[in-house]
Amino acid sequence: MPITAGTPLAADTPLFIVLNTGSGRHRGNEVEDSIRRVLDKAGRRYELFKVGSGSDLENAARQALQRARSEGGAVIAAGGDGTLNAVSNVVLGADVPFGILPQGTFNYFGRTYGISQDTETATRSLLDSVVEPVQVGQLNGHVFLVNASLGLYPDLLEDREAYKQRYGRSRWVALWSALVTLMRAHRQLNLQLDNGEQTRHLRTQTIVVGNNELQLEHIGIHEQTRLQQGQLVAMTARPLGTLALYGLVLRGLLSRMGEDEHVISFGFKHLRVNLSHRRRRVKVAMDGEIRWMQSPLEFRVAEQPLPLLVPRDDSLRERA
């Protein structure tokens, strides 16, 4: 039976928690200890599925889902947006409530729904939560919560990850790596975009598809109403030189990207992106994680929403 909006999580619902110990900047067992402390004190039944490497996430999520299904429980993902992505991908369509304990750098998904970035607070609010069905996007059948992209944006993320490994997790490192990536961003994609009603051709360095109001607001793309109408938002630009790209990033940092004359944005429910030339494989990023996919790329709003657990008491939701 589908779970409906506002359904409270029963007080005896066991929690099956997938915890990515590689997420965020917490040390040692800090996150695990916080989760255990709150749940033990409340006497709530739970099980932790700890994962040290991203490649084990899917397997852990499947085990957690299996247990949740057989015991009438909820699946909880503890990690950054990449971890929430991997777990939600397994949970979507399973009619099992999905909770989150955000641990990443940006936590756009959790912040949008008022879920605390403090583990103790977020765990406590899981104990008194209700289901809110939320929209998610899909790219070739794979879920994305915040965004999915191809071209320059995945390159930026990939380079940032490499810089992070070498020089640490600081904003300056991220900015420096972005400037270096943009300096050699000459590769253009030749795309055919088809939304079922019209087809258009576009030469561009990148296309980003967003599903998160907060992120759109932060970069200054004023298409939030599209999301509220049940659409996704595509953002792209005609090919730009290095200086114009720097200008674009600067506008993004100042929340004014929508004012850039080169930016094109539009809403859609379904968009097929064909890559011309004989390129079949393309690098994409989904919620910050890179993978390769085959063209054509089908972006769509998922038919079923995700039954997200949010604090029952609206005043306990944190304003992003």
Ligand X SMILES: Nc1ncnc2c1ncn2[C@@H]1O[C@H](COP(=O)(O)OP(=O)(O)OP(=O)(O)O)[C@@H](O)[C@H]1O
- Applying CB under 6 A, the residues found at the interface with ligand X are 20, 22-24, 54-55, 57, 79-83, 85-86, 104-106, 288-289
- Output the CA–CA distances (angstroms, integers) from residue 178 to 26, 50, 263, in the order listed: 25, 32, 19
Q: CB of 256: closest distance to ligand X in angstroms?
A: 23
Q: CB of 81: closest distance to ligand X in angstroms?
A: 5
In the complex with ligand X, the residue whose CB is nearer, 83 or 112, is 83
Q: CB of 50: closest distance to ligand X in angstroms?
A: 12
Q: CB of 22: closest distance to ligand X in angstroms?
A: 4
In the complex with ligand X, the residue whose CB is nearer, 244 or 253, is 253
Chain position whose Cβ is nearest to ligand X = 54
Q: CB of 53: closest distance to ligand X in angstroms?
A: 7
Q: CB of 239: closest distance to ligand X in angstroms?
A: 28
In the complex with ligand X, the residue whose CB is nearer, 205 or 215, is 215
In the complex with ligand X, the residue whose CB is nearer, 178 or 240, is 178
In the complex with ligand X, the residue whose CB is nearer, 23 or 231, is 23
In the complex with ligand X, the residue whose CB is nearer, 83 or 125, is 83
In the complex with ligand X, the residue whose CB is nearer, 65 or 240, is 65
Q: What six digits make up the tokens of 63?
A: 């085990």
- Phi and psi, residue 115, nearest 5°: -90, 130
Q: CB of 196: closest distance to ligand X in angstroms?
A: 29
